[in-house]
């Protein structure tokens, strides 16, 4: 554990709390992509298959439970809560997200650290997480109406991954034989996907104007 890893985890948790705050308190999921939330639920379900068989630490187990529980809770809210689901913009959230699941699975079968079920699913979760934000970014570009909580949610998600890159750099220089190419490349691709959003987010913050993405 180092400060970059801890900051990344706390930023990730903060992003989830912001989204749950919006959904639970305001009873609205306007501007939130159900497609992205379903992909994240699949990411965590496939990544944490070892939650009951491999104990690393109390902290690690708690983080796994938080991300599993929150991701499926968000999907449930958006699909089944009688008030929240009314605000879901299904007309604009039309990204065919399941078409990116199969390529990620095939890539995981071809490129992995060890050919076991757990390790292949771990690689699959990394590849899928790298592109899971795409439906959300497409939705924001289509609607161009981004409220503060949704903007903060997406920003915190991108910031979490950027902090993890700093964590990997730190560990590379402080831990012998620390090399994980699959994790690094997937994380870098994921962070680059946020680059355009980060630019407009900081522009709106600097100029004190409403955040809008170009169509």
Contact present, 87 and 29 (Cβ < 8 Å): yes
Which residue is associated with the tokens 């490349």?
185
Q: What whole-number distance in Å separates Cα of residue 185 and Cα of residue 50?
A: 23
Q: What whole-number distance in Å separates Cα of residue 213 and Cα of residue 171?
A: 35
**Region of residue 160 (phi > 0: left; psi between -120 and 50: alpha; otherwise: beta):** alpha
pLDDT at 215 over 90: no
Which residue is associated with the tokens 């529980």?
69
Q: What is the mean pLDDT of residues 85-95?
A: 93
- Residue 210's pLDDT is 83
CA angle 100, 105, 109 (to 5 degrees): 150
DSSP class of 114: S
pLDDT at 59 over 80: yes
Contact present, 99 and 53 (Cβ < 8 Å): no
Instruction: Work out the pLDDT band at 128, boundaries 50, 70, 90.
Output: very high
CA angle 100, 104, 106 (to 5 degrees): 120
Neighbouring CB atoms inside 10 A of 178's CB total: 11
Domain residue limits, the chain: 3-205
Q: What whole-number distance in Å separates Cα of residue 75 and Cα of residue 184?
A: 28
- Residue 52's pLDDT is 81
- Residue 144's pLDDT is 75
The mean predicted confidence, pLDDT, of the chain is 93
pLDDT at 211 over 90: no
Q: What is the mean pLDDT of residues 159-170?
A: 94
Contact present, 64 and 122 (Cβ < 8 Å): no
Q: What is the mean pLDDT of residues 73-98?
A: 93
Token pair listed for 178: 């620390």
Q: Distance of CA 123 to CAs 114, 159, 184, Å? A: 9, 22, 12
Q: What is the mean pLDDT of residues 71-97?
A: 94
């Amino acid at each position: 554990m180092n400060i970059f890893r801890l900051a990344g985890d706390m930023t990730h948790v903060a992003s989830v709390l912001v989204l749950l705050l919006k959904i639970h308190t305001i009873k609205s999921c306007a501007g939130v992509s159900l497609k992205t939330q379903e992909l994240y639920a699949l990411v965590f379900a496939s990544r944490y298959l070892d939650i009951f068989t491999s104990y690393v630490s109390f902290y690690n187990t708690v983080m796994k439970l938080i991300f599993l529980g929150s991701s499926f809770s968000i999907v449930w809210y958006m699909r089944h809560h009688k008030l929240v689901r009314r605000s879901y913009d299904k007309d604009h959230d039309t990204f065919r997200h399941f078409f990116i699941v199969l390529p990620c699975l095939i890539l995981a079968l071809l490129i992995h650290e060890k050919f076991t079920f757990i390790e292949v699913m771990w690689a699959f979760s990394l590849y899928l997480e790298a592109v899971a934000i795409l439906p959300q970014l497409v939705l924001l570009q289509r609607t161009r109406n981004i409220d503060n909580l949704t903007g903060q949610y997406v920003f915190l998600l991108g910031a979490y991954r950027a902090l993890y890159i700093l964590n990997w750099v730190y560990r590379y220089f402080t831990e012998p034989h620390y090399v994980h190419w699959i994790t690094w490349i997937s994380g870098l691709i994921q962070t680059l996907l946020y680059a355009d959003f980060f630019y407009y987010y900081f522009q709106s913050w600097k100029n004190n104007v409403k955040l809008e993405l170009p169509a």
